[in-house]
């Protein structure tokens, strides 16, 4: 964890605190401690279409470190949420640019890991975040079914009602 001081008047007036004793004026400054060591971000499952219009479900993971805390806190409101947003967009871009067969083949070798990591390093560098590795933890072909509407009594839609609504 790396402590830093932020001025209450402006979020971007930050100073990174090193080791030692530090004095500050509590009425005008706040001290916040954020992690900068190696961290893992588990992404939620995304259901996407490949270039050959196959539906796949992917769940990615990103291993990162915060190289420079100042851009991380000055350019974003919640830098960990921003990392997730950028990473999910890169996953969409990579999956949509390849056919399902290409994705399956690149999963067998390290090509996909390198491609995801390289894309993310370029995207997150301006936020002071260094990406060690990005990869798909889960990857499978799927068929997505989403039911819209209000559920029946008790919050559960009976199976026979669901079959009737699908006709």
pLDDT tens-place string over residues 113-150: 999 999 999 999 999 999 999 999 999 998 877 777 66
* Separation of alpha carbons 15 and 45, rounded Å: 37
Q: How far apart are CA 87 and CA 134, in angstroms?
A: 9
Cα 13 to Cα 75, 127, 144, 147: the distances in Å are: 12, 16, 46, 48
Higher pLDDT, 31 or 140: 140
**Are the C-beta atoms of 120 and 134 separated by less than 8 Å?**
yes
Tell if the pTM clears 0.75, that is, is over it: no
CB neighbour list of residue 163: distance below 8 Å, 6 or more residues apart: none
| Interval 51-109: pLDDT, tens | 999 999 999 999 999 888 888 888 888 888 999 999 999 999 999 999 999 999 988 88
CA atoms within 13 A on the CB side of 148: 0
- What six digits make up the tokens of 111? 């090509």
Average of per-residue pLDDT values in the chain? 81
- Tell me the mean pLDDT in the region 27-46: 83
């Amino acid at each position: 964890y790396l402590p830093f001081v932020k001025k209450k008047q402006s979020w971007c007036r930050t100073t990174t605190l090193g080791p030692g004793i530090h004095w500050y004026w509590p009425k005008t400054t706040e001290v916040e401690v954020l992690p900068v060591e190696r961290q893992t971000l588990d992404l939620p499952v995304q259901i996407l279409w490949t270039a050959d219009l196959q539906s796949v479900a992917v769940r990615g993971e990103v291993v990162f470190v915060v190289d420079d805390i100042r851009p991380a806190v000055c350019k974003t409101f919640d830098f960990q949420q921003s990392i997730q947003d950028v990473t999910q967009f890169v996953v969409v871009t990579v999956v949509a640019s390849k056919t399902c067969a290409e994705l399956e083949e690149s999963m067998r070798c390290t090509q996909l890991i390198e491609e995801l990591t390289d894309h993310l390093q370029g995207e997150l560098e301006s936020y002071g975040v260094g990406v060690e590795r990005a990869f798909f933890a889960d990857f499978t072909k799927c068929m997505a079914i989403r039911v819209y509407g209000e559920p029946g009594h008790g919050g559960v839609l009976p199976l026979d009602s669901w079959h009737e609504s699908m006709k």
